[in-house]
Structure 1
């Protein structure tokens, strides 16, 4: 399965495939995905957790003890917790964001969903997320899972990447286009 999808390759793809197959066999794909989403959100919100995950300075044992405490505090248990601990013990915790992304791609493919990467200037409301999902579903004919990232530097609008297609309606891009046009005219 990993070889069929270019976004699911390398170390991250191998770990994601193993996790996906285990979660599928245990009928817990949604629970594992929710746990990984929660862990990724915690990672995004904590500079200390990012440092723990990315820094080669920490020993595997130190990372494992710290990670176990974080997972317990967050209530992440079962397959997800065991998987993250194995990744840590194998000194591959630095690749966890790639593993999560690859796992999402495998889940989307399994469920017949498309996945869109959406970059916005500020957090979207649930209503706006639903409108965006509906619009993308009308284009693709599939349910669309969204990976939403907030990037205040785009000022306004949004950037949507769906497979190889990209729609950039960000204010930053529009301003840059005007700036280039003015330079060429002047």
Structure 2
């Protein structure tokens, strides 16, 4: 594995899960289960609330997570991982943990993860064009982790490692607003 480092609570959990999955020869199976869970969170406001809210007790979170995992068919390492995260009251970090795990998997495969934030979902053609441009720029295979944030208004932000390119309309408008204030 290359020198990819993920930090904080999410980083510790992601690294531990990655090491367990690698030892079990289940890196891709765990990634698939994590991706399925992330998709469920993205689709369900109730599940988002459960994951992000500190209002629910550990027991309530555990019961709800077990039900979600059973329904989604997520078991094994990933299932046990989600149950542990819920028992330790760390569900609030699960989305960051999944991103950290994805970064570790990509690094293990010699790939790079680009965190893309867009105002509207990317079409397949735009995603392919963006991936191709980033592949050429980095000289590696780039995996896109796309997040939709309507607050950007338009454009996109691209983060690869510590490099950030912000081509969002929101940032451009804020720059114009700042420049206008300085002129006065």
- Cα separation, partners in 2 of 1:9 and 1:163, compared to 1, 3 Å: closer
| CA–CA distance in structure 2, aligned partners of residues 10 and 171 of structure 1 | 31
Q: CA deviation at 1:5?
A: 4.1
Residue aligning to 2:139? 141
Residue aligning to 1:46? 44
Give TM-score, length-normalised by structure 1. Answer: 0.86
| CA–CA distance in structure 1, aligned partners of residues 94 and 20 of structure 2 | 17
Work out the number of aligned pairs and report it: 184
Residue aligning to 1:37? 35
- Cα separation, partners in 2 of 1:53 and 1:155, compared to 1, 3 Å: closer
- Of 141-150 and 55-64, more deviation after overlay is shown by 55-64
| CA–CA distance in structure 1, aligned partners of residues 73 and 23 of structure 2 | 22
| Superposition pairs of residues 1-186 of structure 1, within 5 angstroms | 5-6=4-5, 8-185=6-183
- Of 155-164 and 51-60, more deviation after overlay is shown by 51-60
- Cα separation, partners in 2 of 1:181 and 1:78, compared to 1, 3 Å: same
> Structure 1 stretches of 5 or more lacking a match?
none
Give TM-score, length-normalised by structure 2. Answer: 0.87
Q: CA deviation at 1:93?
A: 2.2
Q: CA deviation at 1:178?
A: 3.3
- Of 127-136 and 29-38, more deviation after overlay is shown by 29-38
> Structure 2 stretches of 5 or more lacking a match?
none
